Amino acid sequence: MIPVIHIEDYSYELPQERIAKYPLERRDASKLLIYKGSQPVKDTFRSLPNYLPEDALMVFNNTRVVPARLFFRRATGAHIEIFCLEPQSPAEYVENFASTGSCRWKCVIGNSKRWKDDVLNFDAQGSDPRLDAIDLKARLIGREGQTGTVEFSWSTGAAFSEVLQLCGRVPIPPYLNRDTEEIDLERYQTLYARERGSVAAPTAGLHFTEEVLEAIRSKGIHTDNVCLHVGAGTFLPVKSSLVSEHDMHREPFSINLSLLRLLLERKGKVVAVGTTSVRTLESLYYVGAELLESGTLCDVRQWAPYEKEYGYSTNEALQAIVDYLEKNGLEKLTVGTRIIIVPGFKFRIVDMMVTNFHQPQSTLLLLISAFVGGDWKTIYNFALDEGFRFLSYGDSSLLYKHYE
């Protein structure tokens, strides 16, 4: 049954001065809140390895943020901002980024009413001969509300990934209320980012340094990666009072067969770095359950965890995915998820979570509440009282799952 939840119950006062506009000089110098179900305690992020059990499996999201904001101009002089969301043709990220000459993307379009049927020219905003040579253009193929399908074309033989690197800007969160700056090119990216495709960083990972990662590994903790490409929907607030009326965006994710086997054999705690890793890992049960039900690999529906009770164990669901991949000679599961994690959700894989502090009335705050058994206000009141910095460039927390 879809739970009845009013988003107003997940609000708190967040003063503007508590939103971290810039990262600290050192990634691991941020504060760390530790919550095991009683009074939170405070430490610094570089101490994180001290709180992790030695037999843990720690899972990171190794997606990489792409400079997805592009600025064009009409012949009339009007400026149009195009924010790339998801590749359409070719539909696969790797193939699309390798495209030479043209490709299509689903995009958010600013000033969309001003864009008719004309072809837009890239707004170089300077005299860079490389941009002149690329001659990047945009043509609107179809429109749906604030989004549309845009065809990009360019003159050189460069791959689209190179075009974005030259022409695009890193899409920092709108609540920072500033333009992208040089510091964001490095710091709005995790050290272990590999797979291009996100338009927002998995920000829990921004705190990790090589020293912290080495301390984790030297403790005997196994580390591995999933990849979920974070969409622009991560910025969208819940606008309806009833959470059941909120539509979650689809995000593609992939996970290696080797990690699925590790999850089947796991004996220690599973620690997810970030809500994106949590959503990826917890989606696996529903991918496997649907495989057992229908024999078909399909995306995870938004309300799948609440609409019906599957009778399978977690290991049965994971084994179904492993069997499917082995049967089809695949080394990686690639699928999408719209899963929404709200109070009442049954966590089947993740035991501990590293995460930042999230916006009021957001789906991420609902996830936190579900994970800690509803006591999110204790955590957030403590963070506000103790001077923690909030949101993407803010401080961090280590949360333990609430057990009934």
pLDDT band per the 50, 70, 90 thresholds, residue 226: very high
Q: What is the pLDDT of residue 236?
A: 66
The DSSP string of 121-177 is EE---S--HHHHHH--EEEEEEEETTEEEEEEE-SSS-BHHHHHHHH-B----GGG-
Interval 244-264 mean pLDDT: 94
Asked if the model's pLDDT at residue 29 lies above 90, the reply is yes
Q: Could you tell me the CA-to-CA distances from 191 to 16, 181, 195 in Å, in that order?
A: 28, 18, 12
Q: What is the pLDDT of residue 381?
A: 97
User: How far is residue 49 CA from its own chain's centroid?
Assistant: 23
pLDDT digits (tens, 9 = 90+) for 288-346: 999 999 999 999 999 999 999 999 999 999 999 999 999 999 999 999 999 999 999 99
- Greater confidence (393 vs 234) lies with 393
Quote the mean pLDDT of the chain. Answer: 93
pLDDT digits (tens, 9 = 90+) for 144-189: 877 889 999 998 889 999 999 999 999 898 889 998 999 999 999 9
Task: For residues 151 and 87, give the distance between their C-alpha atoms in angstroms, rounded to a whole number.
Answer: 10
Asked if residue 374 lies in contact with residue 334, where contact means CB atoms within 8 angstroms, the answer is no
Asked if the model's pLDDT at residue 283 lies above 90, the reply is yes
Q: In what order do the strands lie in the sheet with 352-356?
A: 41-44, 31-35, 396-400, 352-356, 270-273, 57-61, 222-228, 251-256, 332-337
pLDDT band per the 50, 70, 90 thresholds, residue 234: low
Lowest mean pLDDT among 1-15, 84-98, 221-235: 221-235
pLDDT band per the 50, 70, 90 thresholds, residue 111: confident
